[in-house]
Amino acid sequence: MREETRKFQMKQKSFI
């Protein structure tokens, strides 16, 4: 997994 994917997951978690 790339760092971008990690940031994306964190953003999605915050979004939910």
pLDDT value of residue 13 = 80
Model pLDDT, residue 15: 67
Residue 7, both tokens: 């940031």
- 1 CB neighbour count, 10 Å cutoff: 7
Kindly report, residue by residue over 1-16, the tens digit of the pLDDT. Answer: 688 888 888 888 876 5
Q: 7 by DSSP, 3-state: which?
A: helix
How many whole angstroms separate alpha carbon 7 and alpha carbon 15? 12
pLDDT at 10: 87
Distance of alpha carbon 1 from alpha carbon 15, whole angstroms: 20
DSSP assignment letter at 12: H
